[in-house]
Amino acid sequence: MIFMNTVLHELPYLENWRWLSRRIRCALDPDEPRLIEHYLAEGRYLVCCTATSPWTVALTSLRLLLDTASDRMLPWHWRAQCLDQAWRPLLDLRSLDRLEQNQRWQPYAMQLANCVLLPSISPDELLQGIDHE
């Protein structure tokens, strides 16, 4: 019964966190940088107040931000904003690893350090190859 209560309590927050992640990943609101802060805050709430794993939340958040930053189909300013914020979940991973005396966070640090923000694909490039008969 306790497990069921935990799941029922966690589900609305988890669903909201997932919806926020889709909004970020698809750049549904690219002129709203506070969306990233809202997403990260929702992840902190999941860790604090539910049974959600802090490592899972931090790693998922980092991957979301890095994947979004690398997606050349999205607006450059949105991708840059995601890359600028990726250090935050990485710092969480590092803190969690220090508690366990591991170094699992280091490959993710290298991934962030080596992330190159290539130009976004322009609308003209997207239209190339389309026949305008």
Each of the 133 residues of the chain gets a pLDDT tens digit; together they read: 444 444 445 678 889 999 999 999 999 999 999 999 999 999 999 999 888 899 999 999 999 999 999 999 999 999 999 999 999 999 999 998 876 667 888 899 999 999 988 889 887 776 665 555 4
Collapsing DSSP to helix, strand or coil, 11 comes out as helix
The DSSP line for 83-126 is: HHHTHHHHHHHHHHHHHHT--TTHHHHHHHHT---PPPPPHHHH
Q: pLDDT at position 6, please?
A: 47
Please indicate, yes or no, if residue 70 is contained in any of the structural domains: yes
Counting the structural domains of the chain, the total is 1
In a domain, 126, yes or no: no
Range(s) of the domain holding residue 92: 2-119
Q: What is the pTM of this model?
A: 0.82
CA atoms of 8 and 77, how far apart (whole Å) = 37
